[in-house]
Chain A
Amino acid sequence: MANETKGPIRFVLNGETREVAGLKPTTTLLDYLRGPERLTGTKEGCAEGDCGACTVLVAEPDGEGGLRRRSVNACIQFLPAMNGRSIETVEYLGRDGLTPLQTAMVEKHASQCGFCTPGFVVQLQAGWLTGALTDRQLVKDVISGNLCRCTGYGPIIDAGVELAALPVPDTSAADRALATRLESFEGEDVFSYEAAGGRWYAPTNVDDLADIYAENPDAVLVAGATDVGLWVTKQHRELPALIDVSHVRDLMMVEERADKIYFGAVVSHRQAREVLADIHPDLGEMMRRFAGYQIRNAGTIGGNIANGSPIGDLPPCLIALGSRLFLRKGEDIRAVALENFFIEYGKQDRAKGEFVAAIEVPRLTENQRFFAHKISKRFDSDISAVMAAFCLTFDGELVSEARLAFGGMAGVPKRASAAEAALLGRPFDAVAVEDAMAAMLQDFQPLTDMRASADYRLKTAQNLLKRFQLEQASGEHRRITGVDASTFGEVA
C-alpha cells in the first residue's frame, strides 16, 4: 500500500477552513451544506443533478499556482470528494453586497418564486469567472442544466448577457493565496477517510489506484459522481467502499497527436468537448447537448463509457470513430475496441478490479466523412431516444468502410452491421442509402419506453442516415437543433 494520509476531510468553505470527520463518506455535499452548515441558500430540487438548484462553485489548485474553477451539483457530490478543494455557495458570492449579476437579476425581474435562483446565480457567476460566458448563446448553454419553472428564462438570460459584457475581474492574487492554502492540505499520495462503516480512498497516481482497486475489487470507482451519486440519492444503496479517481493526475491527461487523441479516463466532458469538436463539429454539438453544464463539469468520459449505459451519448460517437479503450488491472494493461467492450445490457468486458484508464480516439482522415446527431424530446440535457454516429471511409467515390453506430437502439451501443454491409463498395447515394435503411431492420429491434417507441427509434435511425447522405450530397448542414433560427432563412 502506498503512503496514506487518513482523514479528516479538509476543505475551504466560503473562505473558512473546515475539517470534517465522522460523517458517512456518501454524505452529499448538499446535505452537509444545508444540515450542519445551515447554508440553506443552496437548494435541493431533484437530488439527481438535473435541475441545478444546488449549484455551488468548486475550486482546486491547477498545479500552476492558480485555481481551476467549476460549478457542480452539490446534490450528487460526496463530501470526501471535496478534500483539498474550495467550495463557494450563493451566500458567499454576495458577501460584500450584491454582485453585478445579483443586481442585474433583481433589476431585470429574473426571479419569481426564487427557489431556482441561487443555482442560476452561482452557475452564471461560475460561467463568467471561467470565461465561458461571452455571448447570448453561451449564456443559454451555461444555464442548460438549470431549470426555472416560473420565468420562461428571458430575464435570467438578459442578466447573464449583461454580466457577460463586464470584464472578468483579476482574481489571480487571491487565487494564488487560496491555491497555496489548499495545497497545504495535501498529504501523502493517497487520501483515505473512514467513518460510519464507509471507506473512501483518493489516490493521486494511477499505480496507487491500481493497487488499491486490486486490494478492494468490490469498491465502487467514482469520478464525477454523476451516476454513482444517484445510486445513493435515488436508489439508497449502501456503498461501503469508494475509490475517488478524480484526483489521479495520470488519468487527467489529454494527448493530441496528429492521427489520434488519447484521453485519460477522468477527463471531464467539458474538457473533452473542445478536443472532440476539433475532430468534427457534430461532436462539439453533441457535447453541447450532453447533459447539463454542471454535469459536464463533473462527469468524465471514462465514466460515461465504463458505466455501460445503452444510452450514453459518447460511446456511439467513439465507436464510429474506431476508438480503443485501455483497461488496467494491477500491472496489466490491455486494449479493447470500444464496440467490443459492451457485451450486453448491464455487462461489459471489464474484470473485477479492472478499470478504464484511457481512450484512444482516431482523428478523421481526408477520405472519411462523419456525422453525429442526437434525438431527444428536449434539446438540452436530455437522454437520447436515439444517438447516431456514422463514419464512412471512401476509396474514390466508393465506400470502403462503414461504421454506423447507434445508442438507444439495443441493450448496448451497437453498430448496424447489415446497414453497413449495404453501403460497402458503392457510392454513397440515395439508392445505397435506401438499401441500408431497409437493412437496418435486421440490425435492430429497439424497445418502446418513455423516451420513444420502437417505431420512432427505427424510423429516425433510418432517416438520420438519409440526412447524412443529403448533407453530403448538398454540402448543406440544415438541422433544426443546435443552430440558430437564422439558418432557416430570414424570419421577417
Chain B
Amino acid sequence: MDETRIQDRGGAGEPGVVELDERPPAHEERIKGGVASPTAHDSGRKHVTGLARYADDEPELPGTLQVYIAMSERAHAKIVAMDLSKVRQAPGVVVVLTADDIPGQNDYSPVFGDDPIFPPTSGPEAIVQYVGQPIFAVAAETLGAARQAAKLAVVEYEDKPAAITFEAALAAAGEEGHDLLAPHEMRIGDVDAALGEAPHRVMGRVEVGGQDHFYLEGQIAYSIPLEDRDVLVRSSTQHPSEVQHNVAKMLGVPDHAVTVELRRMGGGFGGKESQPALFAAVTALAAVKTGRPAKCRLDRDDDMVMTGKRHEVRIDYAVGYQEDGRIAAGDFSHLVRCGYSSDLSGAIADRAMFHADNAYRLPAARILSRRLKTHTVSNTAFRGFGGPQGMVGIERVMDRIAFEAGLDPLDVRKANFYPSFDSGEEPGVTPYHMEVTDSIIAELVDELEASSDYRCRREAVRAFNAKSPILKKGLALTPVKFGISFTTSHLNQAGALVHVYKDGSVHLNHGGTEMGQGLFTKVAQVVAEEFQIDLDKVKITATTTAKVPNTSATAASSGSDLNGMAAKAAAATIKDRLIDYAAERYHVPREQVVFEANRVRIGNAEKRFSDLVGEAYLARVSLSSTGFYATPGVNYDRETASGRPFYYFAYGAACSEVVIDTLTGEYKLLRADILHDVGKSLNPAIDMGQIEGGFIQGMGWLTMEELWWDDKGRLKTHAPSTYKIPTANDRPDDLRIRIWEKGENRSETVYRSKAVGEPPFMLAISVFSALTDAVIAAGDGRAFPNLDAPATPERVLRAVEDVRGN
C-alpha cells in the first residue's frame, strides 16, 4: 500500500476492505524463512564479504583515545610503590588511570565484589593476585604511545607466597582455614552403606584441564562520553546489562546513565560474559575523565594472559557396582581451580556437580565440591559452564567399571541410563532430587549404536589391535544429558521489543546477543512465523540496554528459549491487537481473523499483511509491544541441595574411533558419529553448525588445548603459536552428524525446540574415552590408564608407558 495514498485519504473516510486490496495477496503455501527452515545465518552474506561490522570496525570518532592496560608481573605480591610519573609525561599520553581515579566502586565482578579494576595504590589492599592483573591504564593518542608509556612505570613489588598448583592451593586453603568459596554437597541415598554393600568397588582420579576461549575477536570496548556525563559503550559482550551495571557502579551513577550496545561478537563461548565489564569500565572511566571517546582493544597475548578461562577440575571417585556394571553408589569429590577471585565460579562448580551423574541413575550418590583459590587468572564461564568437567568424571567411571568387570563400556553405560520417559518405570532421581521425566537417552543411544555399527566396529578394532603392535585403535560411544536453565533461577527471564511499521516491515529487538550461534536468525524466524510474514520483512537490530532492560547474559544455551519466547510474546500482543481491530472493523468473530503466509484472512476476504497494518495504523492501533518470558517452575534450594533447577534436559550421543601411536603418543580421530536431540529444530542448519562446532571445540579441550603455567605463575601458552586449537586437518573426514528426527521437547518451549549451544560440546568426551580405550589396548588390557585431559600426545604416551609397566 502506498503510504502517501493513505495520508491523502485523510478526510475521505475510512477505507473499505476491498478498496485497500490494490493487489490481491499472493497465495503462498508457506512463508520464507519461518520456523524449522534451514535458513542461512542472517549475517552470512556480510560475513563472507567482510561487510559485517564488529566493534573495532565502526568508524572512530575524532579525538578517540586508545587505552592500554598495564599488567602485574607477579602472581602474588604487595605493591610497595608504583611510580607513574614518567608514564604521565610520555609523549601522546592524555590520562593515566589508577584505582585512585575511580569515582564509584572499584570492582567489575558479576556477583561477589572481589574483582578490582585496578588494585588500590596503597594500603593493605594494594596487592596483585595474578600475573596479568590490570594495575593501571594509559589513554593516549595512539595505542603505540600508550603501550610505550606504560613501560616507563616503576612498580616495586614485595612477593607473597603464590599458589599456582592444586597442591599449593590445598595447602593455602588449609592455612587460611577456608576455601575461596564455601564447599557444596549434594547427596541422595546412603552412600557409605551402599558402597559397603556393593559387591565391587573401585576408586580413581581424573584431572581435566582448563581452556582458553580463543574467540577470534578479542575483548574490546569503546566508550563515548555523552551529555550529563552519561556514557555510551560499545562492548563485545554476552551480557550488556551487567556491563552497564558495572560501568555505572564504577562511575557512581545510576544504571540509566549508561547505555551498552552491540550488534555482534566475533565469538564468545562464555568468555564475554563477565570479562568485558573490565574493558568497558576502563574506557568509560577514560571517556568521562577526558571528555573524549576511548577505545580498548586487547592484543591477543594480553587477552589470553588477562582474562579468565575454563576451570580446571580434579575429580576423585569411589563407586560401588554390581556384577552387570550397574552402579550402586557413587562418591565424587571435585576440586575446582577458580583462580584468584570468585567470578562465576560458584555457579560453575555447581553445574559440574549437576552433571556428575550425566545420563546415569545413581541410586546413592554424594558429590562434594571445593572451590579453591589459586594465584592465576580468575576462571570464568565457558561453554558447558562446568558441566563438561563434571561429566568427564562419570564417563571415566563407566570406562573403569567396564575395564574391571570385563564388559563392553557401552553395555555398562546402557545398564545405568535413567529410565526412558515412556518406559513405564519410575522416573530416576538425580543427586539433586529432581525427577528425570524426559529421558530419551536409551532410545537415542540404541539408534546410534545401530547407525554407527558399533558392535561390528568393536570387533574390527579388536582384530586390528591384535595384529598391530605399535598402532592401537580405540572406540567409545558416550551419551550426553545436559540440564537447560540458569541454575540461578531468577536469571531465567527475557524481554523483547517489536515494532511493526506502517509498511508492514518489522523491527525486532531482544535482550539476547549474537556471537555467531545464530540466535538473531532463530528469533527472527520465530517473529516471522508468529506474524506469518517472510523473514526478510523482519529487521534484526543491535542489542542495547536502552531498548530491553535488565537482561540476563546470553548464556547457559538459553538464548533462543528465552528470547524466542519473549519475542513471540511481543509479536503475539501486536497480532492480538490486529485481530481485535479486524474483527471489529469487518464484523467477524476473532477466530475468523487468521494470519496466513504474508496475508490475513478476515472472514471470506483476504488482505496483505502490510495492508492490514496500514489500516490499523490509521485506526490508531498501537503497533509496538514489549514481550516478556520467565521460565516456569524452576528452582533450586542450595540449603538442601535439591529442587528442579532445569526446565528440561537436552540429549545426545557420539561414537568416536581413534588410533594412537604407542611410540610417540600421537593420535588421530578417524571417525565420529553423532546423534543429537534438539527437540523440534527451529533451524536445522544452525543447529547442525552448533553440533559440529561444539564437538570440535570439545575435542580441542580434551586433546590438544593445554594451558601451561610456569612456576612463577606465568601463562606460557598465551597465543595461537603456543596454544593450539583444532584446525581443519584435525576434523575427521568421516564425521556423520544427524539431528535426532524424533526430537520434541516434552516441556513447552518455543515451538518445542531444545537448546543447542552447549550440549554438543560434551559429545567430544567420546574422543577422550576412545583414547582411553586405545591406551588400554596398548597395555593388552592389563591395566587401566590414568589418562588426564588434555590428552596431549605426551600424556597419551605416558599413559601407554604406565599400562605397559615401563
What is the interface of chain A, defined by CB distance below 8 A to chain B?
34, 38-48, 50-51, 53, 89-91, 93-94, 98, 101-102, 105-107, 109-118, 121, 136, 139-141, 143-144, 146-157, 234, 236, 375-383, 385, 449-453, 456, 459-460, 463-464, 466-467, 470, 478-481, 484-485, 488-492
Stretch binding the partner chain, chosen from B14-22, B261-269, B408-416, B580-588? B261-269
Q: Are A113 and B216 in contact (CB under 8 A)?
A: yes
CB <8 Å contact, B689 and A150: yes
Q: Are A43 and B217 in contact (CB under 8 A)?
A: yes
Asked if A48 contacts B720 (CB within 8 A), the reply is: yes
Nearest neighbor of A115 in chain B, beta-carbon distance: B266
Q: Does B4 contact A (CB under 8 A)?
A: no
Closest beta carbon of chain A to B65's beta carbon, Å: 15
CA distance A40 to B60 in the complex (A): 12
**B57 and A375 contacting across the interface, CB-CB below 8 Å:** no
Q: How far is the CA of A34 from the CA of B801 in the complex (A)?
A: 51
Q: List 13 A-B pairs, Cβ < 8 Å.
A: A45-B720, A46-B300, A51-B720, A93-B49, A98-B49, A111-B43, A111-B47, A147-B216, A147-B720, A152-B692, A378-B726, A380-B727, A463-B664
Q: What CA separation (Å) do A51 and B728 show in the bound complex? A: 12
Once the chains bind, are B44 and A488 in contact (CB under 8 Å)? no
Known A152-B692, A466-B663, A479-B661; contact A383-B720, beta-carbon cutoff 8 A: no
Bound: A43/B218 CA distance, A: 11
B456 at the interface (CB under 8 A from A): yes
| A34 contact set on B, CB distance < 8 A | 56
B328 shortest CB reach to chain A, Å: 36
Interface residues of B in 361-391 (CB under 8 A from A): none
CA distance A155 to B266 in the complex (A): 18
- Contacts A379-B729, A480-B471, A488-B464 hold; do A149 and B792 have CB atoms under 8 A apart? no
Please report the C-alpha to C-alpha distance between residue A485 and residue B657 in the assembled complex, in whole angstroms: 11
Q: Is the CB of A109 within 8 A of B688?
A: yes
Contact residues in B for A479 (Cβ distance below 8 Å): 661, 666
In the bound complex, residues from chain B placing their C-beta under 8 Å from that of A148 are 216
A144 & B728 in contact (Cβ 8 Å cutoff): yes
> B283 to chain A: closest CB distance in Å?
18
- A115 CA / B265 CA spacing, docked (Å): 8
Q: Tell me the minimal C-beta distance from A309 to chain B in angstroms.
A: 12
- Given the interface pairs A109-B688, A152-B693, the reply to whether A51 lies near B727 with Cβ below 8 Å is no
Which residues of chain A come closer than 8 Å to B695, judged between CB atoms?
Answer: 152
Bound CA span A112–B667, Å: 28
Interface size class for chain B?
35 or more
A173 to B752, CA, bound (A): 57
* A378-B704 contact given A89-B50, A112-B516, A492-B460, CB 8 Å threshold: yes
Residues of B within 8 A of A150 (CB): 267, 516, 689, 693
Set of chain B residues within 8 Å of A50, measured between Cβ atoms:
719-721
Q: Which of B210-251 touch A at CB < 8 Å? A: 213-218
- Minimum Cβ distance to chain A for residue B466 (Å): 12
A485–B732 CB distance below 8 A: yes
Q: Which residue of B lies closest to A122 (CB)?
A: B50
Contact A485 B41 (CB under 8 A): no
A102, B48: Cα distance in complex, Å: 6
* Cβ < 8 Å to A, chain B residues 498-549: 515-518
Set B48, B473, B719, B724: member contacting A105, Cβ < 8 A: B48
Query: Cβ of B731 and Cβ of A480 under 8 Å apart?
Result: no
Asked if A48 and B721 make an inter-chain contact with CB atoms under 8 angstroms apart, the answer reads yes
Mask of B427-459 contacts with A, CB within 8 angstroms, 1/0: 000000000000000000000000001001100
| B49 and A41 contacting across the interface, CB-CB below 8 Å | yes
Once A109-B41, A112-B517 are accepted as A-B contacts, the answer to whether A450 and B734 lie under 8 Å apart by CB is no
Q: A50-B721, A485-B671 are in contact. Are A40 and B215 (CB under 8 A)?
A: no
16 further contact pairs, Cβ within 8 A, besides A113-B267, A115-B266, A136-B733: A44-B56, A47-B299, A50-B719, A50-B721, A91-B49, A109-B44, A113-B266, A116-B216, A143-B727, A147-B216, A147-B725, A157-B728, A378-B730, A479-B661, A479-B666, A485-B659
Asked whether A114 lies within 8 Å of B264 as measured between CB atoms, the reply is yes
| CB pair A450 B51 closer than 8 Å | no
Cα A44 to Cα B219 in complex, Å, equals: 12
**Are B663 and A463 closer than 8 Å at their CB atoms?**
yes
With A144-B727, A150-B516, A491-B734 known as contacts, the answer to whether A460 contacts B797 (CB < 8 A) is yes
Q: Which of B43, B144, B453, B722 contacts A114 (CB 8 A)?
A: B43
Q: Are B471 and A488 in contact (CB under 8 A)?
A: yes
Residues of the A chain whose Cβ atoms lie less than 8 Å from the Cβ of B689:
109, 112, 150-152, 155
Look across to chain B and name the residue whose beta carbon is closest to the beta carbon of A97.
B49
B550 CB-CB contact with A under 8 Å: no
A464 and B664 contact, Cβ closer than 8 Å, known pairs A107-B40, A111-B47, A377-B706: yes
Q: Which residues of B contact A467 (CB under 8 A)?
A: 470, 663-664
B671 touches A491 (CB 8 A): yes
Chain B: minimal CB distance from A296 (Å): 14
- A contact patch SS: loop
Given contact pairs A40-B53, A115-B216, A380 touches B728 in the complex (Cβ within 8 A):
yes
From the candidates A111, A113, A153, A234, name the one contacting B301 in the complex (CB within 8 A): A234
Check A46/B719 contact, CB under 8 A, given A40-B57, A41-B51, A113-B264: yes
Q: Are A114 and B266 in contact (CB under 8 A)?
A: yes
In the complex formed, the residue of A with least CB distance to B694 is A152
Knowing A114-B266, A114-B516, A488-B464 touch, does A153 contact B731 (C-beta < 8 A)? Answer: yes
For residue B717, CB closer than 8 A to chain A, the reply is yes
Known: A157-B728, A492-B453. A470 touches B470 (CB 8 A): yes
Does chain A have a CB within 8 A of B148? yes
Are A91 and B50 touching (Cβ within 8 A)? yes
B716 touches A143 (CB 8 A): no
CA A137 to CA B457, docked complex, whole Å? 25
* Alpha-carbon distance between A381 and B725 when the two chains are bound, in angstroms: 11
Partner of B735, one of A114, A141, A154, A379: A154
Q: Name the residue of chain A whose CB is nearest to the CB of B708.
A: A450
Chain A nearest CB from B674 CB (Å) reads 11
User: With A377-B704, A480-B666 known to touch, is A149 a contact of B733 (CB < 8 Å)?
Assistant: no
The answer for the CA separation of A361 and B457 in the assembled complex, in Å, is 46
B496 within 8 A of A: no
Given contacts A149-B269, A449-B716, A485-B670, contact A42 B50 (CB under 8 A): yes
The reply to whether A109 and B686 contact each other, CB–CB distance below 8 Å, is yes
Closest chain A residue to B706 by CB distance? Answer: A377
A331 to chain B, nearest CB (A): 39
Residues from chain B with Cβ under 8 Å of A140 in the complex: 728-729
> Is B794 engaged at the interface, CB distance under 8 Å to the other chain?
yes
**A50 CA to B718 CA, complexed, in Å:** 12
B722, A451: Cβ atoms closer than 8 Å: yes
**B697 contacts the other chain (CB 8 A):** yes
Cα(A79)–Cα(B472), bound, Å: 50
Residues of A within 8 A of B730 (CB): 378-380
Interchain CB contact under 8 A, B44 and A152: no
- Of the candidates A98, A106, A144, the one having the most CB atoms from chain B within 10 angstroms of its own CB is A106
Residue of A nearest to B268 (CB): A113
Q: Which A residues are CB-close (under 8 A) to B46?
A: 114
B:568-604 near A, CB below 8 Å:
none
Q: Which among A41, A98, A118, A378 has the greatest number of chain B C-beta atoms within 10 A?
A: A378
Closest 7 CB pairs of A and B: A41-B50, A113-B516, A115-B266, A114-B47, A152-B696, A112-B516, A50-B720
In the complex, the chain A residue whose C-beta lies closest to that of B806 is: A459
Q: Tell me which residues across on chain B come within 8 A of A115, comparing CB atoms.
A: 54, 215-217, 266-267, 516
For chain B residues 341-376, which have a beta carbon within 8 Å of chain A?
none
Q: Chain A residues near B218: list those with CB within 8 A.
A: 45
Q: Within the complex, what minimum Cβ distance (angstroms) separates B153 from chain A?
A: 15
Contact A149 B215 (CB under 8 A): yes
Q: Is B59 at the interface (CB under 8 A from chain A)?
A: yes
The residues in B between 1 and 57 inclusive whose CB is less than 8 angstroms from any CB of A are 38, 40-41, 43-54, 56-57
Contacts of B797 in A (CB 8 A): 456, 459-460
State how many angstroms separate the Cβ of A54 from the closest Cβ of chain B.
Answer: 11
